[in-house]
Structure 1
C-alpha cells in the first residue's frame, strides 16, 4: 500500500512502524471473509481493510469525524485477519496506533468518554471490582473449591523445599477472575502442584495492562506493565521456570510486553525476558508428562477456542490436543475460528453487536449437542454462559 505520511511523523518510531505495516498490505481483501463484524454489518469500513484505510487517512493528516471512532471501536481485535493475511500485516499493532491517534484528534461525546473511563477503572481496580461483585453476587460464576488436607500438605511441602524457586512457576491471577470464577485459579494450582511444581500466585493488583492499552490509556497500561516486570523479574532471575496465564487474553498482552517497551532504555531488555517466559497454561502443559492424571475415556466436551489463543497467541489446536491426550472426545463448532463477541470490554461497550455474535456462536456450539462447553478465557466463559443453559467452564477445571 502506497503511503504519504508527513515527514515529521516518519521521523518518529510510531510513524515508521505504521508506515512499515501499511506498506505490507496489498489490498487483497482475504481478511474480509474472516472478519466477524464485516460478516454481520456488510460495511467495508467495518472490515480490517476498511479500517486500515481509515488509519492511513488519519496518519496522512486528513480530517476525520466521529464515524472513525465508531468503525475502529467496532473492531473486536480478534486478529482473525492476521491469521488469514498472506502478507503478514500486523493489524493489531496498527489498530493500537490508529485508535490512539483518533483519540487525540477526535473528541468523543462526554457520555461515551465517561462510560469508557468507568468500565476501565472498575475492571482494573481490585477493591472497586470486588465491592461490585459483593453487592451483585449473581455476577460470580463459581466459588473456589477448598483444598483437601492432602493438597494443602503437598503445597506446603513444595514451598518449603530448598529448590522451591527453581521448582516454581508464577501464575497470573487476573483482574476479575479471582472474584468471578476463583475455581479456575484454584484448579490450575492443583494441576501444577500435582506435577510437583510450586505456584507463586500474582496479586490481583497485577493487571496485565490489556484493558488500559486497548481503551487508549497507554500511560496507565505502561505503569501496570512496569510494575509487573519489577515484581516478577526477581523470581525469573532466581530460576523460576515460567509465567503462566490461564486467561488467553492476558497471555497475548504478556507476550506483547517486549514490543510495547522496545524503545524503553531501562525496560526493553527486562520486558523481553518477561515475554519470553510467558506461556499459556495449555502451552506449558503440552510439554509435561500428564500420565499422573486420570484419562477420561470417551467423555465428550465441546471446545470454544478464544480468539486470543488461536489468533492472538498463534496456538490453534493446543487445548484440543491436550484434552484428547487425556482421553476426551472433543467436538468443535462450525466456524470455530470466529469470535464469540466477548473480546475484553467489547461486550460491555458494544452490546448489540456482541449479543448478535454470541447468538451465532451459541447456535453453532449447541449444534454439537454438548454436555459441557469448555473454553480458555474468562471473558468468553462469562459471555457465553449468559446465553445457554449448558454448563460453560474453563478446560483446566476438567483436570
Structure 2
C-alpha cells in the first residue's frame, strides 16, 4: 500500500511504525473472508481491509481535518482485535499494531462521550486490581437482580471450590505463574488445578504476589502508558525469580499470555527495561506449551468425558498455538468433538463483550451453536474471558480445560 506521510510525520515513532505496517498490505481482501465482524455486518469498513484504509486516511490527515469523525471511531471500536486476519494474511500485515496506533489517534482527535469515558474508566479500575474486583464481584452476587444484564451474565453464581493448592517447593523444577486479575475471582480453581497438575509432573509453582494485571486491559482501552507501567511492575516482581533460575512464567489465561509475550516489543524503546522485557517474553509460556513437552501418558488420566474445545483467538491467532490444546487433551485420552468454524471469535475479546454487547452476543450464540453440535458433556477453553462470556449464556457448562484434567487425575487416583 502506498503511503503519503511527510518527512516531518515520519520523525514520529508511531507514524513511522504505521507506515511500515501499511506498506505491507497489498489490498487482497483475504482478511475479510475470516473477519467475524465483516461476516456479521457486511460493511467493508467493518473488515480489516476497510479499517486499514480508514486508519491510513486518519494518520495522513491534519489535526483540523473534519473527515475524521465518530464514525471512524465506531468502525475501529467494532474490531475484536481477534487477529484472525493476521493468520489469514499472505503478506504478514501486523494489523494489531496499526490498530493500537489508529485507536489512540482517533481518540485524541475525536474524544469520547461522558458515558463512554465513564464505562472505560470503570472497566479499567474495576477489573485490574484482584482484591477490588473480588469485592465488587461479591457485592454483585448479593445484589444480582440489580446488576445490568451484560455484567450479570458474566458473574458465576458459585465458582468451583479451589481446594488445596500444593506448595511445590520440594520440586527441583520451578516456574512462576501469573495469577491474573479477574480469574482468581471468576474461576479460583483454575490456578489451583494448574498447580496440582504440574505437581504431578514434578514442577513446582513459585508465588510472586507482587505481580498484578498483565497490562492488557489498560493498553487496549487506550491507556497505553498505564499498561506499560504495569508491564514494568510485573518485570520487577518476576526478575529476582528469573535471576534465581525460574524455568518459565506459566500463563493460564491465553489473553494474558499473548500480551506478556509482547512485552519485549512494547518496551523495546525503554532503555531500563528493554532487555529485561525481552527475557520475560521469552519465558512466558501458555500452560499447553508446558504440558505438550511432558510425559502425559504416564499420568493415567480417567479421560471418560466428552469435550468440545474452544481455542481462544489469543491462543490460535496471537500466540500461534492452534491445535496444541486439542493435542494435549487428545494425548490425555479425552474424546474431543469436532467444532466448525473454530477459527472464529466467540465475541469476548477482553472488554469487547461489555463495550459492544449486541455484536458480542451474536458471536457468542454462533460459537455455542458450533461447539454444541457434537453434543459434548462440557465445553473447555483456555481463557477466562471466553469462559465467562460463553458460560454466561446458560447453555452447556464452560470451564477451563485444566480443571477437567485435574478432576480426571483425582478420579484416576
Range into which the TM-score falls when normalised by the shorter chain:
over 0.9
CA distance in 1, matches of 2:395, 2:20: 47
CA distance in 1, matches of 2:232, 2:161: 30
CA distance in 1, matches of 2:229, 2:162: 33
Task: Name the counterpart of 2:151.
Answer: none
Q: Does 1:325 align with 2:331?
A: yes
CA distance in 2, matches of 1:278, 1:126: 21
Aligned with residue 191 of structure 1, among 187, 192, 197: 197
TM-fit CA distance, 1:5: 1.5
Task: Name the counterpart of 1:8.
Answer: 8
The answer as to whether partners of 1:55 and 1:98 remain within 8 angstroms in 2 is: yes
The answer as to whether partners of 2:25 and 2:91 remain within 8 angstroms in 1 is: yes
Ranges of 4+ aligned residues in structure 1 off by more than 6 Å: none
Task: Name the counterpart of 1:243.
Answer: 249
CA deviations over 1:208-241 (Å, ceiling 9, x no partner) = 0001110000111011100001111121111010
Q: Does 1:27 align with 2:27?
A: yes
CA deviations over 1:349-394 (Å, ceiling 9, x no partner) = 1000000111111111111111111000111110111114322111
TM-fit CA distance, 1:204: 7.7
Which segment drifts farther, 385-394 or 356-365?
385-394
TM-fit CA distance, 1:319: 0.4
CA distance in 2, matches of 1:68, 1:204: 39
Structure 1 residues 304 and 114: CA distance shift in structure 2, 3 A: same
The answer as to whether partners of 1:208 and 1:224 remain within 8 angstroms in 2 is: yes
* Aligned pairs (5 A) from 1:366-385: 366-385=372-391
Q: Does 1:145 align with 2:149?
A: no
Query: Secondary structure in 2 aligned to 1:303?
Result: strand
Q: Does 1:128 align with 2:128?
A: no
CA deviations over 1:77-104 (Å, ceiling 9, x no partner) = 0000000000000001110011111111
* Aligned pairs (5 A) from 1:1-399: 1-61=1-61, 63=65, 64-137=68-141, 139-140=155-156, 142-147=159-164, 152=166, 155=167, 158-159=168-169, 161=170, 167-203=173-209, 206-296=212-302, 299-399=305-405
Query: Secondary structure in 2 aligned to 1:302?
Result: strand
CA distance in 2, matches of 1:118, 1:28: 39
The answer as to whether partners of 1:377 and 1:394 remain within 8 angstroms in 2 is: yes
The answer as to whether partners of 2:84 and 2:313 remain within 8 angstroms in 1 is: yes
The answer as to whether partners of 1:31 and 1:84 remain within 8 angstroms in 2 is: yes
Query: Secondary structure in 1 aligned to 2:271?
Result: coil
CA distance in 2, matches of 1:78, 1:101: 20
TM-fit CA distance, 1:170: 0.5
Query: Secondary structure in 2 aligned to 1:136?
Result: helix
Query: Secondary structure in 2 aligned to 1:253?
Result: helix
Query: Secondary structure in 2 aligned to 1:352?
Result: helix
CA distance in 2, matches of 1:392, 1:127: 24
CA distance in 2, matches of 1:235, 1:244: 13
**Where do 5+ consecutive residues of structure 1 fail to align?**
none
Query: Secondary structure in 2 aligned to 1:291?
Result: helix
TM-score of the superposed pair, with normalisation by structure 2: 0.91
Structure 1 residues 391 and 294: CA distance shift in structure 2, 3 A: farther
